[in-house]
Amino acid sequence: EPEVTQTPSHQVTQMGQEVILRCVPISNHLYFYWYRQILGQKVEFLVSFYNNEISEKSEIFDDQFSVERPDGSNFTLKIRSTKLEDSAMYFCASSGTGVEQYFGPGTRLTVT
Amino acid sequence: GQQLNQSPQSMFIQEGEDVSMNCTSSSIFNTWLWYKQDPGEGPVLLIALYKAGELTSNGRLTAQFGITRKDSFLNISASIPSDVGIYFCAGQSQGGSEKLVFGKGTKLTVNP
């Protein structure tokens, strides 16, 4: 069964550093998303991406964040200058219809 | 912003018992989805509901989309130890927004 994959599984970085989180969505899906989950809390929407552009973003997704689909298979989330409060699990999701969204296993980002 | 109130926050049950959890919202949702999350993993889609009043089953799981479109419930029948995890409801609102708004989750513990 097709799956969303994410790398790395765990990323430790120092405050102020740039990080890139990578995702390979399910191959025939057209809608892509990033969510985050601070430890013990609910999943929060960051951004959605369709037809090579951002379709919606949340207040969390400020100028420090960017997304890119550099080729036909990868979808990346970049945080330019990480802050302590960026520490969280980051989930990539994809959808064929924009409704049923399938999540990857997540990247745990730890900012020290 | 939109919020989903999910209850109960946690449940401790014996193997074989039935379980019920629900989500309510002050605003209308077009779609309700239920996810299960195991520790350190991404949310796994269990059931998607598309129409008010819809009742859908997936094995021992049954979910309903409330008539008012402001609530949904999930039932698990004859629970087994592998049902342990956190169950999240998620909704998509009107207006074509694809983002999922998540509840805070119900943590289920099943005692063998």
Average pLDDT, integer, range B44-57: 96
Q: What pLDDT does B98 receive?
A: 85
B45 C-beta neighbours (distance < 10 Å), count: 17
Q: Which long-range contacts (CB under 8 A, 24 or more apart) does A2-5 make?
A: A2/A26, A2/A27, A3/A102, A3/A104, A4/A92, A4/A93, A4/A94, A4/A102, A4/A103, A4/A104, A4/A105, A4/B42, A5/A104, A5/A105
pLDDT of A27 reads 92
Of residues A55, A85, A10, the one with CA closest to residue B99: A55
Flag the least confident range among A103-112, B1-10, B42-51, B103-112: B1-10
Q: How far is B21 from chain A (nearest CA, A)?
A: 16
Phi, psi angle pair for A21, to nearest 5°: -105, 135
Q: Per residue in B64-75, pLDDT tens?
A: 999 999 999 999
The radius of gyration of chain A from alpha carbons, rounded to an integer in Å, stands at 13
Contact A42 B104 (CB under 8 A): yes
Q: Any residues with CB less than 8 A from the CB of A85 and at least 6 apart, and which?
A: A111
Given this model, what pLDDT does residue A70 score? 87
Q: Residue-wise pLDDT tens for chain A (112 aa)? A: 789 999 999 999 999 999 999 999 999 999 999 999 999 899 999 999 998 999 999 999 999 999 999 888 899 999 999 999 999 999 999 999 888 999 999 999 999 9
Q: For A104, list phi and psi in degrees, rounded to 5.
A: -80, 180
Nearest-Cα residue of chain B relative to residue A105: B42
Q: Taking CB atoms and an 8 Å cut-off, how many pairs form between chains A and B?
A: 58
Partners of A105 on chain B (C-beta within 8 Å) are 41-42
In the predicted model, is pLDDT for residue B95 greater than 70? Answer: no
Average pLDDT, chain B: 94
Q: Report pLDDT for B2.
A: 77
Write down the pLDDT at residue B97.
67
